[in-house]
Chain A
Amino acid sequence: MKYRIKTWGPGLLLLSPSIVLIGIFVYGMIGATVNVSLTDRHSAQPAENYVGVDNYTDLASDDRFIHSLQNLLILTVVFVVGTLVMGVLWAFLLEKGVTAEGFFRSTYLFPMAVSFVASGVVWRWLLNSAEGENAGGLNALFGMIGLDFLQNPWWSHPDWGMAAMALPAIWQLSGYVMALFLAGFRGVPNELREAARMDGASEFKLYRHVIFPQLSPVALSALIIIGHMSMKMFDLIMAVSGAQYLTEVPAVYMWQTLLANDYAKAAAIAVVLLVVVAVLVVPYLISNARAERQR
């Protein structure tokens, strides 16, 4: 198709306000953050000198930052695995159509409409670390129903606390993964199922060899969406535990650093976080655009 500027020019013009806004507020601001991260602005005063990548090398040897990355890793693994398992299970249970499907679906999905700050209020109560006689929250519930052995200090555990921090996140986003997979299951053509059944495939084999392989693109999207959400996790942690060392992730550390007016270090943490997310998301965006062009 031949493009003529008279034809497409107005379109570009109509889009230009948004191009300018995104250009300044996304790319300009990222540039400015990178710029700050290369200076010695460690107080509210303006920067005096460029210090190269010093702030980044400092981070690499900052135990607190390493600790926040370890926390992020545990959180992300548990969060991603948890939502995928629950989401796939729910979608699988609903997939063939059940009575009151709409009710089940809406119930599983509703936590998504609530803010992490609001759900954090109740999860803070549920994840009470006291055990035994003084148990509260979920630990008290376990005590009541005779599952005392399940009692644990939740996010207060020094090594695996972040795994407990993933629980509210799993509660909140499993419904989302379910919705993705439900759409995926239903995208598998009925003829394919019928053909497999005709060939005498058992239900197990049907899922194992016919349906699940068709769902790998859905699984990839879910993985990337949930994974990048986890890397940005801030609200939930602030609401459940507040800003504290035990549950610190880079997003929270950056906020704490900024509160202390260490602009350059805060900027460097933000840039590291951005790069980590970009490594995950950019290939996804590109492959998505390619797939679209081929359609």
Chain B
Amino acid sequence: MTVETPARPVAGATPPPRRRVDARAGTARTVRYALLIFFVIVVLIPVYVLFVTSFKPASEVGIRGAWALPQDWTFDAWRNAWEALSPSLWRSFAIAIPASIVAAVLGSLNGFVLSRWRFPGADLVFMLFLFGMFIPYQAVMIPLRQLTGDIGLPSGVPTLIVVHIVYGIPICTLIFRGFYSTTIPNELIEAGKVDGSGMLRTYRSLILPLSAPAFVVTLIWQFTSVWNDFLFAIFLSNTRNGPVTIALNALAGGQLTDYSSSMAGALIASFPTLVVYILLGRWFIGGLMAGSLKS
């Protein structure tokens, strides 16, 4: 599931190339690296702007010198942003952590059944699940708001936990199903069945101990997407009880935008997912590939 480094063709295996070819290969290499580095710079431009602006005092944010380093470095913007965002930051954790764990557990059970303890029509059920992950959620928002209100689920954190669990089921099921069908041989399950092992025992003693990699991929993927969600948050919460994306949008969205504070805020709001990405990037890609249905 992860992008693997290839076995590179061994250079020494070919006969020594003529000098002209050598020179051309050298040019190609230089062009290749020049392009790669150029694109690194392009991709990192917004990051430079974020950092530089976040350390500028309000007086320096104007047009002139917009791309320059701050003349007076200050933490004022970071302090403002932290004040504006910190309550919602904790709410984001309160939503993302339980929603990720519960969805991952459900995904694991579902993935097991749909790959290794199948029933007639399992593929159809799976496809109906998958469709749920591609829909534009606007198509469920109106009755969803009504329903969560009707059953007395408080707006904000509790509602968002439930909603992210439910709409997280398809992707979590997809990742686990793909993982189990490639890593756990059917014979192993069949042998268990012959021994008379029940389904839950098979899951607990055979499947669960092998599931750690899929749990890591799923938890990272689910945490990142719940943390970054804005659509459910704007429909089902407000600035007083919503996650950090809502608070950041409010901080950045005014008519007179305080750019240094909102950029410091953008960095604060991105910090948890970036840390996860930097530390566990390899696993992040796993979720990415699963999302395209390519296993």
Contacts and interface: CB of A to CB of B under 8 A. Distances in A.
Given A26-B131, A222-B292, A7 B193 contact: yes
Contacts of B278: 106
A108 interface: yes
Interface stretch (B72-80, B140-148, B210-218): B140-148
A9 B200 CA distance: 12
Contacts of B100: none
Contact-residue size bin, chain A (C-beta under 8 Å from the other chain): 35 or more
A28 B166 CA distance: 13
Contacts of A208: none
Contact of B36 (A98, A175, A190, A254): A98
Nearest to A273: B136
Given A22-B129, A126-B46, A117 B245 contact: yes
Q: Is the interface of B mostly helix, strand, loop or mixed?
A: helix
B134 A289 contact: no
Contact of B294 (A29, A180, A194): A180
Contacts of A114: 228, 270, 273-274
A136 B61 CA distance: 10
B71 interface: no
Interface string B37-66: 001100111100110010000000001001
Interface in B274-295: 274, 276-278, 281, 284-285, 288-289, 291-294
A239 B66 contact: no
A115 B200 CA distance: 38
A119 B230 CA distance: 13
B143 A36 contact: yes
Contact of B143 (A32, A108, A228): A32
Contacts of A26: 131-132, 135, 140, 167
Contacts of A32: 142-143, 146
Given A11-B117, A21-B169, A97-B6, A121 B139 contact: no
Contacts of A110: 43, 274, 277
A137 interface: yes
Contacts of B146: 32
Contact of B106 (A17, A124, A136): A17
Interface string A162-197: 000000000100011001101100100010001000
B96 to A, nearest CB: 12
B36 A117 contact: no
Contacts of B125: 15, 19
Interface in B114-132: 114, 117-120, 122-123, 125-132
A25 to B, nearest CB: 5
Contacts of B112: 14
Contacts of A182: 3
Nearest to B143: A32
Given A104-B40, A234-B231, A22 B266 contact: no
Interface-central residue, B8, B249, B259, by most chain A CB under 10 Å: B249
B44 to A, nearest CB: 7
Interface of A: 3, 7-12, 14-15, 17-19, 21-22, 25-30, 32-33, 36, 86, 89-90, 93-94, 96-98, 101, 104-126, 130, 134-137, 140-141, 144, 171, 175-176, 179-180, 182-183, 186, 190, 194, 218, 221-222, 225, 228, 231-232, 234-235, 238-239, 242, 251, 254-255, 258, 263, 266-267, 269-271, 273-274, 277-278, 281-282, 284-286, 288-289, 292-293
Given A263-B142, A281-B131, 17 more contacts: A14-B109, A15-B113, A18-B129, A32-B143, A93-B35, A97-B6, A111-B46, A114-B273, A115-B269, A118-B245, A118-B270, A119-B266, A120-B252, A125-B49, A239-B252, A239-B253, A278-B135
